[in-house]
């Protein structure tokens, strides 16, 4: 009987240790989750405070800009995104229509600057060998003139529009 008792005791110790280990693991995980939630709430509160401060700073900056007259350094020009003319002799017009007056005639590969305006409508225009269906794009010329060109006539890369005479 003493052999059975001696063999049973180590098994009981192992079972107690496993139960203790599992209890400790569950307790540690719950503490980590509670701590994680606390940090998340603190981060959200800090983020909300930072956003409120940034908004107040932006409003103050806008107010100060409105009070001061903008001063541009000599030779500084806000150009915009560069585009290149893809059609030789492209007309820059005062308004986004074919009936509008021509401001400038642009050379192939000439650099112009996108002014972040595109018409909500598209026109279908024959460009010699191809038929294009594009919107009009507002651009600024290096000489400072601002006007509209047909969207097929400009591109982000220097290239000649294929099929155009």
**64 falls in which pLDDT band (50, 70, 90)?**
low
Residue at a domain's end among 39, 71, 103: 71
**pTM score above 0.75:** no
Could you report how far apart the first and last alpha carbons of the chain are, in Å? 108
Q: What is the pLDDT of residues 86-145, one digit of tens each?
A: 998 899 999 999 999 999 999 999 999 999 999 999 988 888 778 889 999 999 998 889
> Residue 50 belongs to what domain range?
1-71
Dist CA 69 CA 49 (whole Å) = 31
160, part of any domain: no
Number of domains into which the chain is organized: 2
Residue at a domain's end among 71, 96, 130: 71
pLDDT at 70: 46
164, part of any domain: no
Please calculate the CA angle 29-33-36 and round it to the nearest 5 degrees. Answer: 135
Tell me the CATH number at 125. 2.30.30.40
165, part of any domain: no
76, part of any domain: no
Residue 45, C-beta contacts closer than 8 angstroms, at least 6 positions apart? none
Identify whether the C-beta of residue 138 lies closer than 8 Å to the C-beta of residue 153: no
């Amino acid at each position: 009987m003493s052999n059975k008792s001696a063999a049973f005791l180590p098994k009981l110790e192992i079972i107690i240790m496993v139960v203790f280990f599992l209890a400790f693991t569950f307790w540690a995980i719950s503490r980590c989750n509670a701590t994680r939630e606390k940090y998340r709430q603190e981060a959200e509160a800090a983020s909300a405070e930072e956003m409120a401060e940034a908004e107040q700073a932006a409003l103050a900056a806008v107010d100060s800009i409105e009070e001061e007259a903008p001063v541009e350094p000599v030779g500084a020009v806000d150009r915009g995104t560069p585009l290149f003319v893809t059609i030789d002799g492209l007309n820059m017009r005062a308004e986004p229509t074919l009936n509008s007056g021509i401001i400038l005639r642009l050379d192939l590969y000439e650099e112009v600057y996108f002014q972040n305006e595109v018409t909500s409508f598209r026109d279908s225009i024959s460009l010699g060998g191809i038929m294009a269906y594009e919107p009009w794009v507002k651009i600024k010329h290096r000489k400072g003139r601002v006007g509209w060109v047909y969207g097929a006539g400009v591109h982000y890369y220097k290239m000649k529009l294929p099929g155009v005479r």
